[in-house]
Chain A
Amino acid sequence: MAITINGTEVPLPEDPRMSLAEFLRDGLHLTGTKIGCNQGGCGACTVLIDGQRVLSCLTLAVQAEGREVTTIEGLSSGDDLHPLQEAFIAHDGFQCGYCTPGQICAATAMLRELAEGMPSSVTGDLSRPAPLTAEEIRERMSGNLCRCGAHNGIIAAILQVAQEGAA
């Protein structure tokens, strides 16, 4: 009865109805994961479960039993930032920073979805890989809101990392 969080196995919470977001923040003090709307509308609580992006406010911690959860704390190694973290800084992809962990976790999964050839609702031609355009990134990041309006910087940061990965 355990979950692996950022590579470390931790026991499940005693209350089986605790959301993963609350468990991460209150149970494990991993406060990088933010709770915004707490009803699946804003994306601030996005984490990765087995590499797939999900909303931790709509997931019970016990539902992640036996699976690997990655939070924003698990993306960097020490002072070495993840390329997306570097790019968000370079492109001013935030102001207040509250939505940023969710944005970066979502973008991490999104880059993998792109690499796997997953189409989006704006991908016209499904027979070839989706083009790396701002429109594609915007559509794929539509589950993450930024009330400061830093979306242009966010899209630019992700686009840069996506293009470097594709090069």
Chain B
Amino acid sequence: MTDFLRPATVEDALALMAAGGVVPLAGGTDLYPATQRRALPGLVLDVTGLPGLCGITTGPAGLRIGAATTWTALARATLPPALAALQQAAVEVGGIQIQNAGTIGGNLCNASPAADGVPPLLVLDTEVELVGHRGIRRLPLSQFLTGPRQTARQADELLTALHIPASALSGQSHFRKLGARAYLVISIAMVAVRLDLQAGRISHAALAVGACSATACRLPQVESALTGAPAAEAPALIRDADVAAALSPLDDLRATAAYRSGAAAELLRRSVATLCQPVPA
């Protein structure tokens, strides 16, 4: 039984990982299909038994989400409206069987450019917590994701948690994705938007697009264009050219690059319009 490890503490997990060649396993929803074999290769370390890796806690500094928290747990949690985009993404990741097993940390470590969890976390200024035998370090999510299927996690480190600072818990957020059909497909484009509205104007805007560049990214130029704008005029301020300038989409079997960036701009306009709608009395 040496090829399956299920440590009970993070310390034990790190000691086992120090030897090298260890593949961390959480929900298994990406790891299995990626192997294309009957059995998982290598030494598999199941992280789901580690304390502190599941669940969401709130403190003065903000919110902490354990890396092995499942999509279902995220969707069911009572969270501030700033996390609505993340919860909307959670109920659209695969079918419910996938949502019951798949984890937010696994989504980040798998690092697909089309990972549903990334845009909603980018608009929340999320930092990831990595634990290794040299200690704990924190990185902004944008620096953690270094390329398609590539992250800054060292082979002997574990992603243990995500931290959302209190400053990013304001406002409301929205998530939209576009695929060839609604179910069980990889997205062509996806967006998350978080807006703070004050007296009918946007006081803070955070916009992110996924599946349209090597890693999902924020759109600072479009964010500046929206900041200070009256809510009613906001969607029209999102120009196709500004969105396209921030992205580097692929031409592939799912969509052309031009279609992708056009779709991303339209998804952003629709999400901004949804958030800027006057609240019905």
- Which A residues contact B (CB, under 8 angstroms)? 15-19, 22, 39-41, 43, 46, 52-55, 57-60, 62-63, 106, 109-110, 113, 118-121, 140-145
Q: Is the CB of A120 within 8 A of B39?
A: no
Q: Which residue of B lies closest to A63 (CB)?
A: B46
A144 and chain B: residue at smallest CB distance: B95
CB distance A43 to B6 under 8 Å?
Answer: no
Chain A residues near B32 (CB-CB < 8 A): 19, 39-40, 57-58
* B92 in the interface (beta carbon within 8 A): yes
What is the number of contacts between chain A and chain B, taking CB atoms within 8 Å?
88
CB < 8 Å neighbour of B96 from A17, A59, A143, A145: A143
A137 CB to nearest chain B CB (Å): 12
Given contacts A54-B101, A120-B91, contact A60 B184 (CB under 8 A): no
Give min CB distance, B279 to chain A, whole Å: 14
Contact indicator A41/B96 (Cβ below 8 Å)? no
Q: Does B28 contact A (CB under 8 A)?
A: yes
Q: In the complex, A145 Cα to B94 Cα: how many Å?
A: 12
B76 located at the interface, meaning its Cβ lies under 8 Å from any Cβ of chain A in the complex:
yes
Taking CB atoms, residues of chain B closer than 8 Å to A109 are 96
How distant is A59 from chain B, measured CB to nearest CB, in Å? 6
B101 touching A118 by the CB < 8 A rule?
no
Q: Which residues of A contact B48 (CB under 8 A)?
A: 63
Cβ-based interface call for B199 (8 A): no
Q: What is the CB-to-nearest-CB distance from A23 to chain B, in angstroms, rounded to a whole number?
A: 12
Assembly CA distance A55 to B25 (angstroms): 15
Cα distance A59–B29 in the bound complex, in angstroms? 8
Residue in A closest to B99 when the chains form the complex, CB atoms: A143
Most buried by A among B25, B38, B95: B95
For the complex, what is the distance from the CA of A133 to the CA of B228, rounded to whole Å?
A: 42
Which residues of chain A are near B46, meaning CB under 8 Å? 60, 62-63
Q: Are B39 and A15 interface neighbours, CB within 8 A? A: yes
Name the contact of B101 in the complex, choosing from A19, A58, A121, A144 (C-beta under 8 A).
A58
Q: Assess the B29–A58 pair: CB atoms within 8 A.
A: yes
5 nearest A-B pairs in the assembled complex, by CB-CB distance: A143-B95, A16-B4, A39-B33, A142-B183, A17-B39
- Cβ of B40: which chain A residues have Cβ within 8 Å of it? 17, 60
Are B4 and A142 in contact, with the CB atoms below 8 A? Answer: no
Q: Which residues of chain B are near A142, meaning CB under 8 Å?
A: 95, 182-184
Chain A minimum-CB-distance residue to B28? A58
Cβ of A60 and Cβ of B101 under 8 Å apart? Answer: no
Q: Which residue of A lies closest to B32 (CB)?
A: A58
Are A118 and B75 neighbours in the complex by a CB distance under 8 Å? yes
